Amino acid sequence: MVEDRKLAVLRAIVEDYVATHEPVGSKTLVERHQLGVSPATVRNDMAALEEEGLIAQPHTSAGRIPTDKGYRFFVDRLTTLKQMSAAEKRAISGFLEGAHDLDDVVQRSVRLLAQLTQQVAIVQYPTLSKSTIRHVELVALSTTRLLAVLILSTGRVEQRVVEVPVELSDELLGELRVKINTAAAGERISDAAGALGALPAQVGPRSSITYSVVVAALVEAMSDHRSDERVVVGGTANLARFGDNFDQSIKPMLEALEEHVVLLKLLGHATSSSHVTVRIGHEGPIDQLSSTSVVATGYGATDDALSVLGVVGPTRMDYPGSMAAVRAVASYVSTILDES
Amino acid sequence: MVEDRKLAVLRAIVEDYVATHEPVGSKTLVERHQLGVSPATVRNDMAALEEEGLIAQPHTSAGRIPTDKGYRFFVDRLTTLKQMSAAEKRAISGFLEGAHDLDDVVQRSVRLLAQLTQQVAIVQYPTLSKSTIRHVELVALSTTRLLAVLILSTGRVEQRVVEVPVELSDELLGELRVKINTAAAGERISDAAGALGALPAQVGPRSSITYSVVVAALVEAMSDHRSDERVVVGGTANLARFGDNFDQSIKPMLEALEEHVVLLKLLGHATSSSHVTVRIGHEGPIDQLSSTSVVATGYGATDDALSVLGVVGPTRMDYPGSMAAVRAVASYVSTILDES
DNA sequence: ACTTGGCACTCGATCCGCTGGAGTGCCAAG
DNA sequence: CTTGGCACTCCAGCGGATCGAGTGCCAAGT
């Protein structure tokens, strides 16, 4: 079938170009792949593919390279999701099992992902808004300052210094601690604000001011979007393999990696864990990164993802491999977080 | 005086080369600086400087560039410590004042330092071994697992999950919490281990096992050197200005920035806060970074530094500027940490 | 004892023109 | 629809010529 062969040619072009980083011509194509036809035939197919905007040539007498549209087609229609080998699976779970701490899990995931894909890996911490409160601890720093420590179900620990306009006695602090914990424990962050808000009214007017100050600070700490932006990056050294066009690809990438807000925009919002999202080149939200692709997925519960992780690389990346690695790591991280 | 002029020439060469990144010749030198002599004279001086190993020429018919030894001489003998302008001082303190959290302080410092020096900035968290324990919190995750949260005087919060081989009742947990806090609060980390170690013997044999397990885990968490290695990096995008020789300077740099252990080696151990350390090129501990310099200093108390911060850049960097910025930021961070 | 102008020399950077080869598009025949 | 043939295009790479910045050295001047 003619149409089939055209797709085979596209696949071959993508694979070859990803492997060699060089425009691929009709002759080398039939040599390296068993297409069973002559270069001339391939040339005809290539002309058709170019017509459809799936491939392009850098200059008249050069081979073809896939366009963003070509990659998109390749990812959507020509990619059979690669399975990780048993050895790889063992390596992944072994590496992640060793963690005894949320920070540890995140850090290891990022390293792992970077190593597996040989690219820049990004892991976002579990979103605050989807966690429930496990415990709130108040520690006096001085008589008018206290440190509020928020321990969440996902293992995240958030802290915030609170200035209180009145002197705090030990008893009052203890009372506060108990009241706040009974009100907030087990609640989702978003709901806790309401439950806590009711507290000041329940106590005598004498301590009600203190209550409201502390409660207000806690609520603020919880809704602080800055802490939702926690993101860890790894494998930056892999940028070195991006190629030679420094200013065009590496510099903007480094700049983006500095700005966590930008990174989050890049990753996109947490989708379901079962689905791997691929954004190719210009499809992404940032113009400077038009030759960069993002492969990401949610992790955590299958239905309602806790957060996102993924890799970032040049459009000419190994999509099947990256997708498999991202999916595998996300799934292992999910199970580990479920256990704890 | 002849000797004086030779040094003036060296200074001029360093300054010009740092500014232009190009080998500097005798003619351009007399044009740009008021040396009051002819190019020929400068050439004689240059020959002498080259004889002494302070400058070198990349090839026969090119201008001169400073050698590492030349930079060293420049830093040691020709640098008058630049003062920050009032506006800069205001900007620094203003930017750092806004922080309400240790994490915040560290993060802001790194950004600030990167921005001020236009280079890669590194800040190490306050060393654990120099902090005292403010509070220990134990939160039950399940009946046999608990989360130990260590709150330190510097504002650092360390956490660790502990598996306990026996079932923990609420009362036992409360008892543990009180005992541990009375034993450890106010102690230096290094001393706390001893105080805690005595605990199990003080209780009945029934709960003594539980005590020893928890205590052991806590002690391990405290002495865990991994957590001493906490380091934050910023301004990576400034690597882009390093120049063109990608493989020689940028790639190894990126690799080093990935490995926090390497970074710590690079920064060196905390020296006193009052003294800024400069390591030039090959003087550093890492061979791959032989064309990279480090400007660092301790921060925290003047006499006994809490930890280290600094910047990393090409040997051809603005030493006076970097030294001034590093010193200024360190001093502001110190005061802020003292306050809390 | 230094400084300085002059001068010959070196050597990388840059431009130019050439050529080889990889790759294409098209056409006519199978 | 495939295929071999063929003319054409254009980049990459090479060698040679040129340019100019910079040097080292020397002899004369202060």
> Which range, of A224-233, A305-314, B31-40, B58-67, averages the lowest pLDDT?
A224-233
What average pLDDT does range A135-139 have in this prediction? 87
CA-CA distance, B340 to B328, in Å (whole number)? 19
A14 CA from C23 C1′ (Å) = 18
A37 CA from D3 C1′ (Å) = 9
Q: CB atoms < 10 A from the CB of B38, how many?
A: 12
Nearest one of A310, A290, A287, A283 to A299, comparing CA atoms: A310
Q: Do B234 and B265 meet the contact criterion of CB atoms below 8 Å apart?
A: no
What is the reported pLDDT for A124? 94
Nearest one of B89, B148, B58, B126 to B273, comparing CA atoms: B126
What is the reported pLDDT for B300? 86
> Which range, of A86-95, A139-148, B252-261, averages the lowest pLDDT?
A139-148
Q: Do A150 and A140 meet the contact criterion of CB atoms below 8 Å apart?
A: no
Checking each nucleotide's C1' against the CA of A29, the nearest proves to be: C23
CA-CA distance, B226 to B125, in Å (whole number)? 12
Does residue B148 surpass a pLDDT of 90? no
Residue nearest to nucleotide D8 (CA to C1'): A61
Interface contact A134, partner B, CB < 8 A: yes
What is the reported pLDDT for B244? 65
Interface contact B136, partner A, CB < 8 A: no
User: Which residues between 33 and 92 in chain A have a beta carbon less than 8 angstroms from any beta carbon of chain B?
Assistant: none
Contacts of B244 in chain A (CB under 8 A): 246
> Alpha carbon of B326 to those of A16, A183, B235, B282, B318: distances in Å?
49, 46, 14, 21, 12
Pick the residue from chain A with its C-alpha nearest to B137.
Answer: A137
Three-class DSSP category at B138: strand
Q: Where does the pLDDT of residue B227 fall: very low under 50, low under 70, confident under 90, or very high at 90 and above?
A: low
Reading the block at residue A5, the tokens are 């062969």
What is the reported pLDDT for A227? 64
Does residue A269 surpass a pLDDT of 80? no
Nearest one of B307, B312, B261 to B284, comparing CA atoms: B312
Within 7 Å: CB of A13 and strand C? Answer: no
Residue A61 burial by Cβ neighbours in a 10 Å radius (0-12, 13-18, 19+)? exposed
Within 7 Å: CB of B209 and strand C? Answer: no
Give the best-scoring range by mean pLDDT among A266-280, B97-111, B140-154.
Answer: B97-111
Q: Do A278 and A295 meet the contact criterion of CB atoms below 8 Å apart?
A: yes
In tens, the pLDDT along A188-200 reads: 887 887 788 777 7
Share of chain B above pLDDT 90, in %: 51
- Which residue is it, tokens 């301590």? A207
What average pLDDT does range B218-223 have in this prediction? 75
Amino acid at A102: L
Three-class DSSP category at A205: helix
What is the reported pLDDT for A270? 61
Within 7 Å: CB of A64 and strand C? Answer: yes
DSSP string of A220-235, one letter each residue: HHHH-HHHHT-EEEE-
Q: Do A23 and A35 meet the contact criterion of CB atoms below 8 Å apart?
A: no
Give the residue ranges with Cβ < 7 A from strand D.
Answer: A 2, 5, 37-38, 40-41, 44, 59-62; B 23-28, 39-40, 43, 46-47, 50, 57, 60-64
Instruction: Spell out the residues 6+ positions from residue B335 whose beta carbon is closer than 8 angstroms to its own.
Output: none
Instruction: Spell out the residues 6+ positions from residue B39 whose beta carbon is closer than 8 angstroms to its own.
Output: B26, B27, B29, B30
Question: In this complex, do B340 and A161 lie within 8 Å of one another by their Cβ atoms?
Answer: yes
A290 CA from C22 C1′ (Å) = 29
> Which range, of A33-37, A177-181, A240-244, B330-334, averages the lowest pLDDT?
A240-244
Q: Where are the alpha helices (DSSP H) in chain B?
A: 2-20, 26-32, 39-51, 68-73, 86-97, 102-117, 170-184, 189-197, 199-202, 205-223, 225-228, 251-258, 260-267, 319-339
Instruction: Spell out the residues 6+ positions from residue A218 whose beta carbon is closer than 8 angstroms to its own.
Output: A136, A148, A150, A160, A162, A180, A184, A196
What is the reported pLDDT for A98? 84
Interface contact B258, partner A, CB < 8 A: yes
Nearest residue, CB atoms, A101 vs list B137, B160, B257: B160
CA-CA distance, A49 to A29, in Å (whole number)? 15
What is the reported pLDDT for B189? 81
Which of B97, B110, B258 would best serve as a mutation to test chain A binding (most A beta carbons within 10 A)?
B258
Does residue A339 surpass a pLDDT of 80? no
Contacts of A149 in chain B (CB under 8 A): 137, 149, 151, 157
Q: Where does the pLDDT of residue A226 fall: very low under 50, low under 70, confident under 90, or very high at 90 and above?
A: low
Question: In this complex, do B161 and A247 lie within 8 Å of one another by their Cβ atoms?
Answer: no
Interface contact A137, partner B, CB < 8 A: yes
What phi and psi values does residue B280 have, to the nearest 5 degrees? -110, 120
What average pLDDT does range B132-158 have in this prediction? 85
Share of chain A above pLDDT 70, in %: 95
Question: In this complex, do B240 and A258 lie within 8 Å of one another by their Cβ atoms?
Answer: no
More confident residue, A55 or A102: A55
Q: CB atoms < 10 A from the CB of A47, how many?
A: 11
* Chain Cα centroid distance, residue A283: 17
What is the reported pLDDT for B213? 79
> Alpha carbon of A125 to those of A103, A130, A230, A308, B148: distances in Å?
9, 11, 6, 8, 20
In tens, the pLDDT along B15-32 reads: 999 999 999 999 999 999
> Which range, of A163-172, B33-42, B294-303, averages the lowest pLDDT?
A163-172
Interface contact A250, partner B, CB < 8 A: yes
Does residue A122 surpass a pLDDT of 70? yes
Does residue B120 surpass a pLDDT of 70? yes
Amino acid at B267: L
Q: Give residue B304's region: left, alpha or beta (phi > 0; psi -120 to 50).
A: beta
Q: Where does the pLDDT of residue B75 fall: very low under 50, low under 70, confident under 90, or very high at 90 and above?
A: very high
Nearest residue, CB atoms, A234 vs list B141, B157, B258: B258
Which of B97, B132, B141 would best serve as a mutation to test chain A binding (most A beta carbons within 10 A)?
B141
According to the 3-state scheme, what is the secondary structure of A264-314? HHHHCCCCCCCCEEEECHHHCCCHHHCCEEEEEEEECCCCCCCEEEEEEEE
Cα dihedral B257→B258→B261→B264 (10° resolution): 20
CA-CA distance, B287 to A113, in Å (whole number)? 28
Interface contact B134, partner A, CB < 8 A: yes
**Total residue length of chain A:** 340
Nearest residue, CB atoms, B101 vs list A159, A244, A257: A159
What is the reported pLDDT for A70? 97
Contacts of B100 in chain A (CB under 8 A): 160-161
Question: In this complex, do B157 and A141 lie within 8 Å of one another by their Cβ atoms?
Answer: no
